[in-house]
Amino acid sequence: MNPAKPSTGTAAAAISGVVVERDPARMRAAVLAAQRGGRRVGFVPTMGALHAGHGSLVAQALARCDDVVASVFVNPSQFGPTEDFSRYPRPFAADCALLASQGVRWVFAPETESLYPAGHATAVVVTGPAEPFEGMLRPGHFSGVATVVCRLFLAVPADVALFGAKDWQQTLVVRRMVRDLGLPIEIEVCPTVRESDGLALSSRNAYLSPADRQRAVALHESLCQAAALWGAGQDVTAIEAAMRHILEQRGVSIDYAAVVDRDTLATQIPPGSPAVALVAGRLGTTRLIDNQELPPRPRPPG
Ligand code: AMP
């Protein structure tokens, strides 16, 4: 048996100085015991293949909490049938070492069957912010996300869970689910960590060829342009056209490039409301997404 992967039913194992827990009930008991002892617990859900973006979520959790749980689980239900579930990177031992070096107390790494028992027939459905953009292009994706996040929150009843602004629409979906179901957990959204040229860190960047890696900076460039034009008072149609132009010039196959209401993702942005520029595109077989918040603009006079 791989010592980095104790199976369900075995006691929690210490790997690289961090406790790896695979059993949801034991994970829950450990978190509740810590909280009974007066400790505030933070939770960072991930799919592993960790990078400095995940690291910043962990650092912010550690700054706000006494104990931090990070989950490592590649969630099958959020991948479509033609997506990259089987090739998604799974460097589990290295992930544990990184989390241990940061001071995480537990890694929750459940077996798929313990989150999705045989014959499972239940899922969380989210409408509203889950419908456009990723929701349209990846049918079932946000139901998969909401279902696993709900299930993870049951196993890890933390005080606060931290998510990256990198997946902006996901943060809206999670916030809405937490509000609508009355889940007793705070949600905190942390800024996107980027490479020096602006490319947002992503586990999927590892798929990029060197040439595509260079072209991938177009996503960030399109967002910078959107922010500049938004600040200069340009209308949304002109901003979206400028974004598309940059992406096309670099050979990015565009899924969407849009400026919408920051909180609802509606195309109508009320005067004086914040917006967000969203971009998704493909380079070769790799699909990347990114976004940029846009501050409220002064209301037009009169
Ligand atoms: P993932 O492992 O891709 O499911 O991501 C786990 C968490 O890390 C999610 O909340 C992501 O939004 C967040 N995340 C991913 N990339 C970044 C990044 N570049 N900066 C900050 N957070 C990120």
Active site residues: 54
Q: Is the CB of 43 under 6 A from ligand 1?
A: no
pLDDT-derived band at 198 (thresholds 50, 70, 90) equals: very high
Whether 239 maps to a domain, the answer reads yes
Q: Which token pair is 30? A: 């450990």
Tens digits of per-residue pLDDT, 158-180? 999 999 999 999 999 999 999 99
Q: What is the DSSP letter of 138?
A: S
171 shares a domain with 30: yes
Domain that holds residue 162: 13-190
For the CA of 162, the closest atom of ligand 1 is 10
pLDDT of residue 78: 97
252 shares a domain with 135: no
| Average pLDDT for 250-270 | 97
Nearest-angstrom CA–CA distance, 294 and 276: 5
Last residue of some domain: 190, 217, 237? 190
pLDDT-derived band at 302 (thresholds 50, 70, 90) equals: low
- CA 239 / ligand 1 centre spacing (Å): 26
pLDDT-derived band at 204 (thresholds 50, 70, 90) equals: very high
Whether 243 maps to a domain, the answer reads yes
Does position 41 have pLDDT exceeding 80, yes or no? yes
Whether 2 maps to a domain, the answer reads no
> Do strands 253-261 and 186-190 pair parallel, antiparallel, or not at all (unpaired)?
unpaired
Which residue has the least CA distance to atom 22 on ligand 1?
164
> For the chain, how many structural domains are there in total?
2
Q: Give the CATH number of the domain where residue 260 resides.
A: 3.30.1300.10
In angstroms and rounded to an integer, the radius of gyration of the C-alpha atoms of the chain is 20
119 shares a domain with 250: no
Q: Is the CB of 47 under 6 A from ligand 1?
A: yes
Residue 221 backbone phi and psi in degrees, to 5: -60, -40
Whether 77 maps to a domain, the answer reads yes
Q: Is the CB of 144 under 6 A from ligand 1?
A: no
pTM here?
Answer: 0.96
CB 51, CB 199: distance < 8 Å: no
pLDDT of residue 171: 99
Whether 251 maps to a domain, the answer reads yes
Residue-averaged pLDDT of the chain? 95
80 shares a domain with 147: yes
Does position 7 have pLDDT exceeding 80, yes or no? no
HSE-CB at 243 with a 13 A cutoff on CA atoms is 33
Q: Give the CATH number of the domain where residue 49 resides.
A: 3.40.50.620
179 shares a domain with 209: no
| Average pLDDT for 88-111 | 97
